[in-house]
Structure 1
């Protein structure tokens, strides 16, 4: 009979491999499109970056967690724990930031021509590159406290002021400094989630108004196919819903872990942290018509 730890390890291995395969496929697809196909759209730059950071999230969290569930709990020293958790936090925050930018960009795309966003539409590519650099610099600096707090696994020692994450531990600083660190970490996340919720509400309103207008023009008996803008908006909304749902549940579990030592809470938190990076790539693959067209062309070539 397979033990629980081995089954759990293979489960995390499957989740990590499945998600990394989807994100790597997207990166390869956009790379081929860049060199052989038409010019990439500004939104494609966001999707490429999202796939890249989601790969980092999965690999930095999934591989160590898989190894720990298979019985390897002391494979990282202090430096290894610091780097693994630091890059995971940076990649996870970038995933949040880029998803926020994606919802904001789509709201800007659907905004009327006479709105204040009209000037930004003409130079959206330059704005996106500048925002990428700003996000990277900000989150690299924001997560510096992680380098100071993380330590290697010390599960065999009597520790009362450190939080056990199975293969690493976090040493809590004094109360005031810990509160400041939590405030620095939490406020940007709350702001990004708030922006995503606001832009999502606006996108839902635009879609509803567009649907009513189309029904009025074509009649209630006709169901015209959705425009590319509508499909892109629906995809962005689905991504935002997935991210906010998994992020909220994981945040609740992280707070519970700080007050109650439980390996199962750590496992569930790791699973939820990897759900969005593992599933978002397949949402994009299914919703992108260019992927389907290229697959059909490739299939026809193989058959002939």
Structure 2
């Protein structure tokens, strides 16, 4: 096995090991809370949806890339490429927009009662299901090019192609390649700007609240939730900023076939958000960390009981 393939396989393996258990833990914690309380807060529903999307992104892209790098499986024929690229790109895009929805809702949540933003928050909570549906439909339509133009490595075309290592996206013309790239950049930059604005509002709220709360206690859970959203947004801006910078390089590079190394770096940085975001949720959400802590204590208790019964 070549050293390049070994390094690639280890990188994708690290993302798989961090992302799959982390997102599964968040999902199971919220499902446990839903079973116990019969309801979830709106912000918890958004985070649960985000964890499901991130789990899909890591499992669909990083796991197959790991298997292919270590030559354990060959699933990247034409059908495999179309499926993997379509599901991954749609999950990646949904992850971005759900992070924006979470930051926007948290921004509305810090509004004073009776204000216009508070009424918008109530309206958003009521129609959260249709919002999710619209996001799924819009992102599915914008990712349709992956189904039309993705092919296995054996069917690569030398003109207007983007190398994604085990697959190639063969565009019919340079104009279609640039238009698709511009649409993807716009799809990422728009929510980036909006969530950055929402995070600025949240930071201003935290600053004012910290000045008002000097010398007295209270509001700790509210501040912790707001800081967690700002952390997620910062993580997104850094990682997807690098990802989009590499994507712009891919579109403007003079070579007809873009380097597979650039593609690997793009997938790594975009998948890194899906792998690290559940760690932020677990560290900042006491309900999730408490639920996971209870599960660990129950398992330890069962193991101790089994050990004592066997003595």
Q: Structure 1, unaligned stretches of length 5 or more?
A: none
- Cα distance in structure 2, aligned partners of 1:173 and 1:2: 33
Counterpart in the other structure of 1:112: 112
| Greater displacement, 130-139 / 66-75 | 66-75
Is 1:102 aligned to residue 102 of structure 2?
yes
**d(CA) in 1 for partners of 2:250, 2:182:** 18
Q: What are the Cα deviations for residues 176-230 of structure 1, in whole angstroms up to 9, with x where unaligned?
A: 3334333433333222111111101111111111111112xx2xxx7x4652111
Matched, 1:140 2:137: no
In 2, the alpha carbon distance for the partners of 1:158 and 1:184 equals 22
Q: Residues of 2 paired with 1:232 and 1:240: CA distance?
A: 13
Alignment CA distance shift 1:179-1:228 (3 Å): same
Q: TM-score, normalised by structure 1?
A: 0.88
- Which of 266, 270, 275 in structure 1 is aligned with 2:263? 266
Conserved 8 A contact 2:43-2:102: yes
Instruction: Choose the corresponding residue for 2:274, options 273, 277, 289.
Output: 277
State the 1:158 CA deviation.
7.2
**Is 1:245 aligned with 2:238?**
yes
Aligned twin of 1:161: 160
Match of 2:12 in 1: 12
Q: In the alignment, what sits opposite 1:190?
A: 189
Cα 1:205–1:68 change in 2 (3 A) is same
Superposed counterparts of 1:169-188, under 5 Å:
169-188=168-187
d(CA) in 2 for partners of 1:120 and 1:236? Answer: 19
Distance 1:172 1:29 in 2: 43
Q: CA deviation at 1:61?
A: 1.6
Q: Is the 8 A contact 2:250 2:262 kept in 1?
A: yes
How far is 1:117 from its partner? 1.7
Q: Secondary structure at the match of 1:245?
A: helix
Post-superposition CA distance 1:268-304 (Å, at most 9, x none): 2221111100000011011111234335545665279
- Of the structure 1 ranges 56-65 and 250-259, higher mean CA displacement relative to structure 2 is found in 250-259
How far has the Cα of 1:7 moved from its partner? 4.0
Report the RMSD for the aligned CA atoms in angstroms.
2.5
Q: Does the Cα contact within 8 Å between 2:160 and 2:177 map onto a contact in 1?
A: no
2:29·2:291 contact (CA, 8 Å) conserved in 1?
A: no
Unaligned runs of 5+ in 2: 306-311
TM-score (norm 2): 0.87
SS state at 2:245 partner: helix
Partner of 2:247: 254
Between 1:1-10 and 1:101-110, the stretch displaced more is: 1-10
SS at match of 1:75: coil
Cα distance between partner residues in 1 of 2:181 and 2:19: 29
